[in-house]
Structures are given as structure tokens and as C-alpha cells.
Structure 1
Amino acid sequence: MTSARLLVVLDADSTLIRNEVIELLAEEAGRRDEVQAATEAAMRGEVDFATSLRSRVSALAGVPVSAFPRVLSRIEPTPGVRELIDAVHARGGIVGVVSGGFHEILDEVAPALGVDLWRANRLEVVDGALSGRVDGAIVDADAKAAALQEWAGDHGVAARATIAIGDGANDLRMMAVAGLGLAFNAKPAVRAAAALVVGPQDLSEVIPLLP
């Protein structure tokens, strides 16, 4: 693999994009309010992420895959995200996204924004509709930290030249292993633990921090 000067890894929901994808999918099932409350509790670190995700995904059972284009049409990239990604590339760096969300949406959104690497959960589909189960291992806090370290190793990026940007409790381990952990649009526990707090809503504010 090609080497890079730096690596910036972002969370997806409420960081790379302004939306929480699972809430948009839950709206298709008429269950947005309950899923939104559960998502906020998970992001505050009040419940185990994997357990919470399985519970929230169960609320999506029966949503047809034909709903994905409608959800995609509602995705809003976070202001400044394209400028940040362009700035990382201009400095010889790469951009990764690791998400507790879903490949089914990220596989469209990430390349459109110029993201180089991405990893997320997958939703099980049976007979053209969501089964209410996650397909495969869950991308949780440990998996996010491991992805950052794996990508840095693959591309010869020193730990000190890595930046992690996130908003929720499941981003804290990734932020801890990075050279610089940034809280963006973040919950109080994440702001308290981060090296720096950026935002509230413009990722181009990260550009002056790039090595």
C-alpha cells in the first residue's frame, strides 16, 4: 500500500454527516422517537454500544431495501467536510471513516466525499427487507480504535501523525490511541476527554491543526 504523511479518521453520523442514519431508517419503520432516544443514550455512554445497536436495529425489521435511496437523499454532509478532506489530501494524507452506522449508506456517501478508507456495520437483509439483525461483527469502540491503528500501520503513518474526530462515547478509545483526539459536535463526556474541542458545526476548523 502507498505511504501517507498523516491519517485523519472521522466518525460518520453527526461528524462526517449531520444525520444519524439509524434514525432516518427508523423513521421508515415509524419508530424514530424510540430509536432516537436509545441512540442519544448510547452516545452519552449510558449503555453498552453493541447491546444498544442490536436493540435499535431490531426496530428496523421489515424496512424494505427500497428505502435506502430515500435515506440517502436526506443525508447532509457536515459543513467544511469537503474542505477538510481536500486539505488532508493536499498534505499527502489520507482520510478514513469508521462508523457504528452502516455500509449500506456509507458505501455511497464516503467515496462521494473523497474518503479513502471506511468501515461500518452491515444490516442483514432477508427477502428484500431488513431482518432487524446486524450482519457480522459490530463496529464498536474497540473496533474503531483498531481500525485507526490498522490503517496507520498499512500506510506507514506514525501514531503522532494520526487524528481522530468523533462525537460519541464509542469514539473515545479511537481518540485515545490517536496522536490527537478531537471532539466535534460532541456529548459532554467526549468533550471532557478530548485533547481539543472543535466546532460546533464546521469541520474546516480542523484544517489549522493538520501537521
Structure 2
Amino acid sequence: MKTKTKTKMIILSTITALSLTFAVPSYAATNPFSDLTNIAAKDKIIALQEQGIVHGISDDSFAPNDTITAAQGIKLIVNAANLNLDLVRFLVEPKATDYFKNADNDAWYANALITASVNGVELPADLDPNKKWTREEFTHLLISTIETHSNLPKLKLAPIAINDSSDITIDYDGSIQRALAYNVVKLDEQGNFHPKSDITRAEAAEQIYNVLEYIKAHPTPSPQPGQE
């Protein structure tokens, strides 16, 4: 997958420099979600809501069991990675359709798609924002984006046995193995990942929380004197 390059913008710094930190401003939750009572990841979702990383489908409803769409997933990842356009100047006001032909320029997700593309998030030009995402699609994009923008080294691991590994898209296998190593995801009791299953909003939020916790526990080393 390749991100479409636009010549009408001037980038004032490298893409890496756009996201040297994952600090996310903290916001007091105005209305706690009222539909998380029996959700295992309730506390994690509330913590993300208080940081302004996740939002509901209404003021007090998160819809945790709904399948996440591509647009929702990208918005979550953009928020989690603290991606923005602060260091970018455009010669012409950008539109989401400049990058993704199937996007709606007036949709709530338009800015998130532009931000993701400009920051090098790997997405296809024919992305369908309304497509329901699978566990492997979301996990792959989350891990690849976080690794790029947090300067996490890509681990070389002895692969973990996954019983349904034959169902995993080969391009996503490495990301899923590292997600397991980072404790972002876990296999079920039978050792399955269920890569082709739709991912719920609660599951996606839990992955976001887990990867941010991993980053906190593994901060990027400060440069030593004489090092660039």
C-alpha cells in the first residue's frame, strides 16, 4: 500500500519530526459513557475518553460492541499517535479526496484522513471510509503507525504459534506478532487470533490503551552527548 503524494503542499519538517512525542492533552470527560457496564475494557475506555483520545457516537454512548469502520479506526490511530498538521503549510487548502478518492470532503473524518496521509500512515488510495475493519487490519495499521512515530525499534522475534495463522494476511503477520510481544493483543484460549473477524469499538480502544501503556514503559532513550 502506498500513500498518495501531493505536490501542492510544503512540509516544513520531516514526517518523523511531526510526532516525536505521544503526549496527549488531558481533558475532563464531560459525560461518562453510560453503555460500558458489562464491558471488560470499561476502565481503559474511560481513561482514553478522559484524555480526549476516544469519543462516543453521542454525548454519553460509546457503542462498544459496534464494529469499527475504517474512518473510525484511522481517527483513533491519529489521536493515539498524536498526529497533526502543525508543521505543514499547504499552498492550496487540502481535501480528503486529494488523497482518497472514495472519501467525503464534508464528513467528520475528512481531517483525520488528511492528517494520516500527510504523516505517512500507509493507506490505499481507494480506501472505503465506511468499510468495516477486521482485527488484522486495525492491528496492523496501529502497530505500523505507532512503531514509525514513536521510534520504537521493530523487534526480531521468535514467532508465537497462532493456531489460525493460515487465515492471517501475510503482509500483516509481522505486525500481529509484534502486537503480541507488546501485549497489545492476546490470543484466545485456543491460541487463535481471529484475524478476519470484525473488530469492535471496545476491542480497538483496548488495543490503543495497551500500546500507549507499552510506550510509557519503554520511552525512547535520550541522545547521548556527541550523538545526533
TM-score normalised by the chain length of structure 2: 0.27
Larger Rg over CA atoms: 2
TM-score normalised by the chain length of structure 1: 0.28
